[in-house]
Amino acid sequence: MAHLNPQPGSSTFHGEFRVCHVKPSRGALACMINAEIGAVLAVMRRNVRWGIRYVADDDHLEHSLIHSLKELRKQIFSWQHQWNTINPAVYLQPFLDVIQSDETGAPITGVALSSVYKILTLDVLDLDTVNVGKAMHLIVDAVTSCRFEVTDPASEEVVLMKILQVLLACMKSKAAARLTNQHVCNIVNTFFRVVHQASSKGELLQRIARHTMHELVRCIFSHLPEISNSKPVIAAGSRSFAAEMAGVLDKDHMFGNTQQENGDDGVEYDGQSSKEHASSIPMGKSAGEMYAREAEESGKVEDGQDGEKLMMEPFGIPCMVEIFHFLCSLLNVIEHVGIGPRSNPIAYEEDVPLFALGLINSAIELGGPSFSQHPKLLALIQDELFHNLMQFGLSMSPLILSTVCSIVLNLYYHLRTKLKAQLEAFFSCVLLRLAQSKHGSSYQQQEVALEALVDLCRQQTFMAEMYANFDCDITYSNVFEDLANLLSKSAFPVSGPLSAMHILALDGLVSMMKVMAARIGNELPASDETSVNCEGYEAFWTLKCDKYNDPSCWIPFVRKTKFIKKKLMVGTDHFNRDPKKGLEFLQGMHLLPDKLDPQSVASFFRYTTGLDKNLIGDFLGNHDEFCIHVLHEFARTFDFHGMNLDTALRLFLGTFRLPGESQKIQRVLEAFAERYYEQSPHLFFNKDAALLLSYSVILLNTDQHNVQVKKKMTEEDFIRNNRNINGGNDLPREFLSELYHSICEDEIQMIPDQGPGSPVMTLSHWINVMHKSKEASPFIVCDSGALLDHDMFAILSGPTIAAISVVFDQVEQEDILQTCVDGFMAIAKIAAHYHFDSVLNDLVVSLCKFTTLLTPLSIEEAILAFADDVRARMATTAVFTIASGYGDYIHSGWKNILDCVLSLHKLGLLPAPLVSDAADDKESSSDLEPEKASTSSSSTLQPPSLAPQRKSSGLISRFSQLLSFDMEEPRLQPDEEQLAAHQRTREVIQSCHIDSIFTDSKFLQAESLLQLVRALILAAGQLQKGNGFMEDEGTAVFCLELLIAITLNNRDRILLIWQGVYEHISNIVQSTVMPCTLVEKAVFGLLRICQRLLPYKENLTDELLKSLQLILKLDARVADTYCEPITQEVMRLVKANATLIRSHVGWRIIISLLSITARHPEASEAGFEALAFIMSDGAHLLPSNYVLCVDAAREFAESRVGEVERSVSALDMMAGSVVCLVRWYSEAKNSVVEEASVKVSQDIGEMWMRLVRGLRKVCLDQREEVRNHAVLTLQSSLAGVDVIPLPSAMWFQCFDLVIFTLVDELLEISLTNSPKDYRKMEGTLVLAMKLMSKAFLQSLQDLSQQPSFCKLWLGVLNRMERYMKVRFRGKCSEKIHELVPELLKNTLLVMKTTGILMPSNDIGGDSFWQLTWLQVKNIVPSMQSEVFPDDELEQIQAKHNKTGGIPVTTKATVPVPSSETTV
């Protein structure tokens, strides 16, 4: 049984009325009761009526009321047992007799009531008390049937208040669980009587009565969660509580007047008096009768005895059902009030509905979700209550509407899973309609409706549930989308200033965004964007979800249905324009089968919202065979089980407009009648009877509700017209009568509503809602997870940004501005999370417009305007907060952000330094000039300085020169207002942390980073193209610094941005013809990039080094200005990364940069230092850079810019490089095959050849020290490769191109130039001659076997001969004359020893022997006798003859004279 099950000894009911919390002792209780007895007797003695009565025998007899009180007084002190063992009726009955007596006046009754109230509050009665149930029944029965004489109005009101007090105390008592359902209903009955009666009494009684009834309802329904529902609820007998209450309402006065014996007026309070009979609340049908009929139709009413038995059980669900039904019936007053679309339905009676709605709200607040566990209570809410709420929702009274909205909010919160169709109807037909100001709703109605919607939007799951249950259900309207559009439109001020309505709508939009933003991170593990595959035809009306409580199951399902619904909406639009083409379009969209069948078309008509119902009616009424089949299939989609004919007809005709032609009507009604007869065969003999009656009902409906029909059909006419239609018999008269009255009272709408926003919730419309609720899919409950936020945000973002932007633009209040900013930030967070890049970029663009930073104002004006504009400050903070936090998803928006940054730079408001790269802190502080290190953003822009001031230009990564504007004239001292404005502005900018945008660019996603770089390049490029480029040079420099810093911070992704960065720097370098800060930053920035990236990007080494070619393309003036610092940076680059440079291309660029400094007075030192670092000890010499380094060293050796020592050092480096050649040959010989070794030898020979040819050039230097050292260096270079088997041809080439050429050129110089130009040439010639002799002897062994050896040898002799003839100042050189014979003799001896020079030698045309001595004689005539004495020569010739002409050779090693041989 569904009733309370309290535990003995436990306090189940608690009330606020208790004063004492400790039960008094036995004696104390006796004293208290004795005091109450005395109080009652004292009041009674005031009236002579209660004196001593005399009878015939003169016996003194007391009145029974006084006697019983006195007897009780005698007993109370004699009771020795605990009070809970004493029957409460013993000490309560005397007081109850006084209350029930019609002889007592109001004062006496009031005191007795107070006594009972006091006993109830003493906790004397609890569940352990003997016969406590009977005692509670006695109290309730006595108080509800209280009678007293009215002596004055004030006393009457006091008694009424005390009645309420006692009954409420009964309900709050611990023993209340022993009350029966009937007693609780009686208590509510009594309360309502008092409330109704109080309307003619004083204001205090009215307020107390209503307040206590609220308390009573709250007390009753607070126990609903505790009640078990173990048995279905049965209606309470033939006369229900609601019907009984209807009887109360049918009386004009609840307290009837009676004339007592002594002539005094008395009041009986048991509802039995009926002297006057007029209802203060018109009721028509009683709610009880309606309830009884409904229960009877559903088969849930048992016989009267069962009902009475149920009502006598401990109170629980039965009484709650009766009470709640009664409360709902109080709202039925609207059914009997004439209303129109623009009339106020309860303008003259607001009190009763407000009171009833308040009680209902209290019940729902306390019962909460427990209503869903009790079908009868839930049915009342689903049907009767919600229907009334729909009606009162259209009330002109804002107070009623507000109360209705509160109830709906509670119902949504507690019971939304059971009210899917009802909630959709209320939102669409009431709240959205009123908020949109449709059908003449007032401003107050709009505001209340909008407030209710905003309250709902603040619920964590409301919007998600609206979207999942309605927008993603093909049979419901798009509540979420309509609400989003409503709020966005309502936030737009069409004309005039912003109103509270606009701000309210804004609050709703922001609340939705905040709710979604708060859910981020609570997504399902699976991807949020589940793909929707709807290829091929599938009957969309049959789609079902397997598990509506499993998000992983229902989320893909609702996404699929939403996809189908979108296509259906397009198809619906096509159908409404042209039905035939519309169906073809639906086939093409796979929403209907390729071959149309009646069932699919009928289901499309039945379950698709938005179709033109006129077109549906015309289609269904068509005589075409296919249309007829569709009509019958359409009728089969309805379930008419258990419905009255008029209800079924309303439901059927609510889905289309009945055609006007009689034949079409005939066909439609035939299909309806056939379907109705199939499901209700017990009522009609055949389907023809159902058809005839349906036709008759249509005619009756037209007759009753057509204003052109003057003479209306009566009930008898209707019954007479339908005689003998049921197979020759009559239908039951009661059935026809009920049908007649139903049609008369509620018209069947022949023109059904085309949309959800109908002006009035008609009965037909409500029947459709209830029918839909029975067929509705389960309500999807969304938790706090972000289940569908991606889909919802796609719909909501655009209108929301537009609406918030408009409000943000027009409002001035700071709190509203902050609300807008909160909305912007929530949108940014969601857009970034779900990768709505376009939304985020649109938001950034919109916000940037509000910063006022792009407004063309003077600097001071701009700063003051910014400081005074709260909107601009908030927008600026929001823009940079979004850029810092969600930069990954900003693309096109970077342009606008950078425009703001550049504006702040021009205003001098950026912090210094703004940007840095990861290694800034590692740089030596000594490389920075003090003034640069301390430069702040407020310093003035300086003109380009000369080279000496640019020694630290390479360290451009500091970016400390964020300069403001030029000051051509002295500035006035700022006043306090200006200083405060500057301070506010700087604080705002500092709080934006703009630097983090660029320093954290390394964390940006690739596409965002690329867009940021492109935006920077674009901004800088626009500045360069402008007419006032020099004025904007500081900004262009700033852009370049940012670009370089971003590049350095993204070294791991350099390939992504390098092309753009390089092209930008290239444009700057090649378009600049004069030294300036911009080109300086470009050049040194490029060098810095190479310095920083080479260690980390070996695969990009060549690419990075190739970029340095730009430096070689600098204009001569620019290059000259920055040559020294450029060389310093190149030197750093080489020292740090020499081991990483391997390719010829890279080294070529590096060496080229160093070579051009050889003749630069300031840069040559650093250039030579870098070259020395490469070549010293062959540390970084490679085959790929050998020739380049040798050539560069030669240039430094030839350069006269530096000291002689540097040229000598350059020569030493060249000579020392031979060691590398030997080493490379040795390594190659040991590691490669023989053929490859030959190739390596050839390559090494070419490098060596390049070396000696370079040295030859230096040997011609005018400076004696350099020239002589070059000759010696060349000599050592020739001797250093003796271990390398150079090809003979290369040696011949060396003699021709290097040695002989050098000897000849030196001789030519000595003969043609003044000794002043070439000092001490004699010594150089001596060195040259020694070099030739040593070189010849070094290669003699290999070259003597070659055909060209004779020519080579004659060349040597020729040059010796020429040197012997040289004269200095007309005199022969003693040194040469001493040296040449010695060298010649030494050479001849070596040739003799090796057998190369022998008398019998036949080499060439003339003998080698003869040619040699012919040439030698020209040099030293006596040399032959010295080398070959006569005796020795004869011996040699004799041996030659004996051996047959074979020359005799001596195996001997060719001695090579040391370099220290002197003449």
What amino acid positions are annotated as catalytic residues?
Answer: 661
The helix-helix angle for 106-121 and 26-44 (nearest 10°) equals 170
Which ranges of 45-152 would DSSP assign to H, the alpha helix?
A: 64-76, 88-100, 106-121, 132-144
CA distance 1076 to 1036: 12
Q: Own/partner pairs for 1455-1462, CB < 8 Å, 24+ apart?
A: 1455/1337, 1455/1390, 1455/1393, 1456/1279, 1456/1334, 1456/1337, 1456/1338, 1457/1333, 1457/1334, 1457/1337, 1457/1386, 1459/1272, 1459/1275, 1459/1330, 1459/1334, 1461/1330, 1461/1382, 1461/1386
Specify whether the CB–CB gap between 472 and 562 falls below 8 A.
yes
Our separate counts of H helices and E strands in the chain read 64, 7
Specify whether the CB–CB gap between 348 and 211 falls below 8 A.
no
Total Cβ atoms within 10 A of residue 553: 12
Which ranges of 432-499 would DSSP assign to H, the alpha helix?
A: 432-435, 443-457, 462-466, 479-491
- Max distance between CA atoms of the chain, in angstroms, equals 209
What residues form DSSP beta bridges with 147? Answer: 268
Determine the residue type at 1011. Q
* Parallel, antiparallel or unpaired: strands 53-54 and 60-61: antiparallel
Determine the residue type at 1327. L
Concatenated DSSP letters of 912-979: SS----TTGGGS-GGGS-HHHHT--TTSPPPPPP-GGGGTTTT-GGG---------SSPPPPP-HHHH
Tokens representing residue 762 in the block = 């008609």
Helix (H) or strand (E) run with residue 815 in it? helix 814-833
Determine the residue type at 1066. S
CA distance 824 to 844: 9
Of 1163, 1141, 1297, 1154, the residue nearest 1213 (C-alpha): 1154
CA distance 1122 to 1128: 10
Of 544, 633, 543, the residue nearest 596 (C-alpha): 633
- Report the chain's C-alpha Rg in angstroms: 57
CA distance 904 to 891: 21
Residues 6 or more apart in contact with residue 627 via CB below 8 angstroms: 619, 620, 621
3-state secondary structure of 267: strand
**Residue 924 CA neighbour count, 13 Å, CB half:** 5
CA distance 1298 to 438: 106
Specify whether the CB–CB gap between 269 and 255 falls below 8 A.
yes
The helix-helix angle for 500-518 and 814-833 (nearest 10°) equals 30
CA distance 765 to 1250: 104
CA distance 673 to 648: 10
Buried b (16+ CB within 10 A) or exposed e, 140-171: bebbbbbbbbbbeeebbbbbbbbbbbbbbbbb
Tokens representing residue 330 in the block = 């109080």
CA distance 744 to 760: 18
